[in-house]
Every structure is written in structure tokens, then in C-alpha cells.
Amino acid sequence: MTEPIKFTIGEITYAYGWTFLGCLGLAIVVVFFFSMTKFNESTIAKDEDDLISQLLPRFLATSEQYSRALMIYLAAMSAIVVVLSLLGPRVAYLGAVNLPDAALGPVKLPDAPDVLPLIIALVMVGMLPNVPWLQELERQLRRFAHERAFIPTTARATAERLATAEFDFSSYEADDVLGSCAMRGVERTDFVAPRDSIEYSWARLSCLLHHVRKIQNADAVVSLDNEMLTRYAQDLESLALKRKTMQGDIAQYRQEKAKDRYYSNDDLHRSIRKTLRKVYVLLGCAVRLKFNTDDAMNPALRSFGFLMDTQMAKSDNNNVIIVGLGVMTVSIFAIVYAAAELGALARGFEDLGRFWTPSASFPQDAYYALQMAFSALLAHGTAIHVAEWMRCRRMARGVWFTPERLGRRNVANYLRVATACAVAGFVVLYLWSLLQTGLSWNLATALAPYTLLWATTGAAYVAHLDNVELNERPSRWQEIGLQALAMAVCGVVAANGSHEDIDFIILVAAFGAAIGASLAWYIPAAAARQKYDPLAEAMEQRVSALKAEARRNHKNAAAIDRWLDRPNSKLNYQPPRKAVAELALFEKAMSLLQNAKAGGRAKVCAATNSAGSFRKSSAPVSDSAEPAKRRVQRGKSARQSIARNSRAAEASTTSRNKSRGPRA
């Protein structure tokens, strides 16, 4: 009979038979192939009005982003199978041959069940009765990996960019284009209609669907991903049918508009915008999949009519985290290795030994330094990843920052992150320590004080990112010194709670200071160099579009900024800079500026209701709380009074001239 494979970690000897290892390998293969398919399942709640929730994840990211996230998911799923197979029996006191016990001595325990890895794999793939917590773990891992590929954030941001971009209708003005079936119901005057009008949205929707149909009929898809167009051809066809059903509503709208120039149909406008939104999503994803980069995407989108001038940044915090943890690990290894060499030197020289004799807890050799560095990497790496995940999730829900009037920072979020990082770091390091010491309450109590270090690391990480986001970074010496000091103090408290040896407490303090200094030295600076939020980038592009349109009317940059930050009655009393968060209000703001341009400079102030923001007059702007409607009415009455007086004066002059008769 073949001998089982044995290996010893610490005081525990593990034994696993070849059958067990064969089942473990088969389990990894099962989970691997399952994960390849499972990863393409969406983690977004289905919504009929949100087309993104109905698309497969592989169409919501570039091939490079999707592959990288898939590797993370496959590695995590395989690691779970291995850990639960090897460590799971250990927790249940299985898989160990000799388990030391102070009272009973070495105890012979049963071997791990050979089929345990296969059972775990089948449960995870759902082929055996459901285990809710295990399947929820798989779903959370899948969501985490999707977020690493910016699924679905980048797809939403691309759709926002298309909605923001100006549109060039020149290629659609030809008679043969306007006479096509896909453009039926569109008039040339729609191309110059205000940005927020039904006519403009209708023309834009018709042009995009016409161009997509033209590409499909040509059977030469050069600017769109062919696989996506084929898979979602039915969705594109339904959008075309939806537009066709609107033709009667558009005709009726035009008839009513001819009778009443102020007539509007909000339901029709919402329906067109909703359909346009779906077209933006499909086009944006298809073009991104085809070209991967903005440099290649923008010319392809211009062929549809989009005027894409700005580019989106491409960066995330993954590389920041990896390099930061690498710097930290090297620093810890160097410090502990130097301490071990110093301890060996003290033991070898009697003169030095009279001043200091290393305690039993002090590092003995290089292996101890490697062990400490790896333990720090596990615990602090887990803390930073948990902090990053929590911050991204809460920012996506809009609950990370508080309103500006409250200072923007939410201290409660830092406490949440610190608590979660402490728990996560404790769990990971405790599971790692189980392989060396076995299940023990003493181990848990010894590790508990060190949760201060992991909590501080997580809270400091998100604080650094917030400093970068809010442009409130302190000086470098404060940035590095404060975290190094905080970590050193936490190290002293933690070591003092589990050890009595002074040299070990000093070592842990230096250990903590090195962790804090290395992370604070690298992470804030690197995060500032590559700050990226696709949706925030899209919002900034809308503000830039407003500024560009405003500069066409007025050259005073200070006046433009005042208008952007001043509440506007036509934008639901929101400043234009904040109103751009809603597409309808963004289009309204663009229409205000475009109408002002058409009506001349004097009309700018009236159209935007900015009370003289663009006026070069020296008269101060009134901050009165008088309602805008009343001010407009008062101005209108004044203009009517001036007109009546003018007409009266003209009539009086004419009467006097008649009474005098003709001149000689």
C-alpha cells in the first residue's frame, strides 16, 4: 500500500493519501471549468429599464480587463477549494497524525476523508444540495472580480460620455438619408433644434439607428464588435421597432406644436430618452470591445456623429496596492532580519551580552524574518483589500462622502472600515497560524491585540485615498510621520498585551513604524498619480462641455465659473455644475447656452437666469431672496411701461408736427 504524503508544520504532522490528493486535483479541475462559465453570470439585479443589467459581463469590459479579472476569480475559487480541503479537516481535528496536547500527549486522529475536496467542489458548483454561505461566498468573489474589471462601471461611464457628447448631423442631411425608412418622421429643422427638445432627441435616435442598420446591411462591421451585434441583434431590432411606434406620436406632437408653440409631451420625451440610453449602452460596449482604447474608439464613434474630444483616464488602485504591499514586505523582512543578526551578535559576544541578552521571543534566524514578513503581508494585505472594497462599494452607492456643507468626510465610514479590517486580518492570520500551532484559544487571545495594527492600516489607507480625492493631502513628513507614529503606538500596545519581553516590544514597535512609514510613503503619492473613477470622469466631461459652450458666448472665465456655481431656476434651482448629474438637466443647460448664443450676448443672462453673471456691468448682483418668477414679471412690466411711454412720446410728436402744417 502506498504511504501517505506527510509534512510537518510547527509541532503538527499532516498526512494525506494519494486518493485524497487525486480528489483534490479533480476538485480543482471541476471548479476551474465551472468558474469559467460562472464568471460570465451577472451580479447586477435585473432591471427591465437598465439594459446593462441584461448584458453578459464579458460584453461590459475589454478583453484585457475581463481576462485579468477572470484570473483573479479562478485563483480565488481554487484557493478556497484547497484551503477548505486541507484546513477544513484540520479545524475538525482531521488530517493530523500527531496533535500535541498538554494533558493527553500525542493523540492519533482520523485522516481526512478522501472525497472531501470533491464534495466541496460539487457544493460550490451547485450540483449537491445548496450550502447558502458557500454559494454566497462564491457570488461575493465573483462581484469582487467584476469590480476589478470595472464591470459595469465603465460601461455606464461610456454611455454617459455618448449622452454628453455633441452630435454632428451633417452626414444625415442628404435627401437619400432623410428619405430612408429608418429616418422617417425626421425633418431638417430637428437637427438645429435646442439640445433638450423632443425634436433633437428624436433626430439623434433616428440617426444612430439608421447608421447601425447601415453597418449591419453592409455586412462589414468595421467599427463595432461583431459578436456583440450578433448576440444582441434582437435587442437592436426591438429598439428600431420602438422608434417606429413613436412615429405616430411624433406626428401628433408636431400638429399640436403647430397650434401651440409652448406645447410639450413629457411622456414622449422620456420614452425617446430611455430608448436613446439603451442605444448608447449597446454602441458604447460594442465599440469598446472592438478597439479597447479611447484613442481608437473616438474615431469610430465620430463616424456615427459623436464629437468625442476628451479621453478617459485609465488607472485603478490595484497596482498601487500591489507595489505598496511589496515595499512594506521588504521593509519588514529587512528590519526583522537585522534584529535576528543583532541578537546572534549579542549571544556570541560576552561584552555585548552584559548589556543585553536577547529573550526567547526575539528573532533567532532568517527564517523567522521570512515568517514575520509573510504574516504581515497576509494580514495587512487583507486589511487594505477589504478597505478598498468597502470604499468602492459605498462610493458606488453615494454614501461614502457627506454633503459639502458637512465637510464631505464621514468619520463613521473610517470606523466601519477599521472594524472590518481588524476582523478580516484576525481571521486570515488565525487560519494561517492554525497550520503551525493547531486550534487554540490561547492563539486567538494572543492575536487579538494585533487587530489594532490591521484596523489602523485599513483606516489610514482610505484616509489617504480621501486626501487624494478631495485634494487635501498634508505635507509628506506629516503623511509619513503620523501613520508611522500611530502604527508604532499600536505595536507597543499589542505587544505589551501578549508579551513581557522589552526587546520584543521594541521590535514590534519598529515593525509597526516600518509598516506605517512604507505604506504612507508609497500609497498616497501613487494614488495621486493615477486617480480614476469612470463615472466621475464622465461627469467632469459634462462640466467641460458646459464650459466650452459658455466660452463661445463669453470670454470671462470668472463669470463662467460664477454661472456654473450659481443656482438656476430653469435647472430646478440647482447650480449647473451639479445639475449635469442628470442627463435631462445637462441638456437643458446646454440649450440655455445655445439659445443665448442664438439670441445675442444680451440674451445670455436672461436665458440662464444668472442675474448678470456674464454682464460686464459694475452693478452688483443682488442676493435677494425674491422669487425668480416675480423678478421676471417685474422686468417685463418695466419693459412694457418703457414701450408705452415711447409710443406715447412718438404719437405726441406726430400730432404736433401735423398741427404745425407743412413748412414753407
CA angle 184, 189, 193 (to 5 degrees): 110
The pLDDT, as a whole number, for residue 532 is 58
- Identify whether 643 is part of a domain: no
Q: In angstroms, what CA-CA distances link 541 with 164, 504, 631?
A: 7, 54, 33
According to DSSP H, which parts of 232-311 are helical?
A: 233-259, 266-291, 294-302
**622: DSSP letter:** P
- Residues 334, 473 within the same domain: yes
Q: For residues 98 and 105, give the distance between their C-alpha atoms in angstroms, rounded to a whole number.
A: 9
To the nearest 10°, the Cα dihedral for 503, 504, 509, 512? 150
- Residues 513, 570 within the same domain: no
- Residues 63, 138 within the same domain: yes
The pLDDT, as a whole number, for residue 5 is 66
Instruction: Assign 412 to helix, strand or coil.
Output: helix
- Identify whether 28 is part of a domain: yes
CA angle 380, 479, 465 (to 5 degrees): 60
Q: For residues 195 and 218, give the distance between their C-alpha atoms in angstroms, rounded to a whole number.
A: 31
- SS3 readout for 524-579: HHHHHHCCCCHHHHHHHHHHHHHHHHHHHHCCCHHHHHHHHHCCEHHHCCECHHHH
Instruction: Assign 14 to helix, strand or coil.
Output: strand
- Residues 337, 411 within the same domain: yes
- Say how many domains are in the chain: 4
The pLDDT, as a whole number, for residue 8 is 58
Query: Grid coordinates representing 92?
Result: 475538525
- Residues 292, 358 within the same domain: no
- pTM (two decimals): 0.58
- Identify whether 651 is part of a domain: no
- Identify whether 468 is part of a domain: yes
- Residues 446, 362 within the same domain: yes
Among candidate residues 124, 151, 178, the one where a domain is terminated: 151
Domain encompassing residue 608: 535-615
pLDDT, one tens digit per residue, over 147-189 is: 888 888 888 888 888 988 889 999 999 988 998 888 999 999 9
- Identify whether 637 is part of a domain: no
Q: For residues 550 and 565, give the distance between their C-alpha atoms in angstroms, rounded to a whole number.
A: 13
DSSP 480-541: HHHHHHHHHHHHHHHHHHH---HHHHHHHHHHHHHHHHHHHHHHHHHHHHT---HHHHHHHH
- Identify whether 656 is part of a domain: no
What are the two backbone dihedrals, phi and then psi, of residue 54, each rounded to the nearest 5 degrees? -100, -5
The pLDDT, as a whole number, for residue 335 is 87
Q: Facing residues of 99 across strands? A: 107
- Residues 71, 198 within the same domain: no
- Classify residue 475 by burial, with Cβ atoms within 10 Å: 0-12, 13-18, 19+: exposed
- Identify whether 639 is part of a domain: no
- Residues 79, 218 within the same domain: no
What are the two backbone dihedrals, phi and then psi, of residue 187, each rounded to the nearest 5 degrees? -115, 155
Q: Is the backbone of residue 95 left (phi > 0), alpha (psi -120 to 50) or beta? A: left
- Residues 487, 384 within the same domain: yes
CB distance 643 to 651 below 8 Å: no
Q: For residues 14 and 102, give the distance between their C-alpha atoms in angstroms, rounded to a whole number.
A: 19
Among candidate residues 478, 503, 529, the one where a domain is terminated: 529
Provide the 10 A C-beta neighbour count for residue 382: 21
- Residues 223, 341 within the same domain: no
Which residues does the chain have with pLDDT short of 70?
A: 1-15, 87-112, 126-130, 219-222, 293-295, 309-316, 349-355, 403-407, 436-439, 497-498, 531-537, 553, 555, 596-664
Among candidate residues 97, 120, 151, the one where a domain is terminated: 151
Q: For residues 30 and 41, give the distance between their C-alpha atoms in angstroms, rounded to a whole number.
A: 17
pLDDT, one tens digit per residue, over 273-319 is: 999 999 999 999 998 888 876 667 888 888 899 987 654 444 467 77
Provide the 10 A C-beta neighbour count for residue 82: 16
- Residues 31, 114 within the same domain: yes
- Residues 475, 326 within the same domain: yes
- Identify whether 313 is part of a domain: no
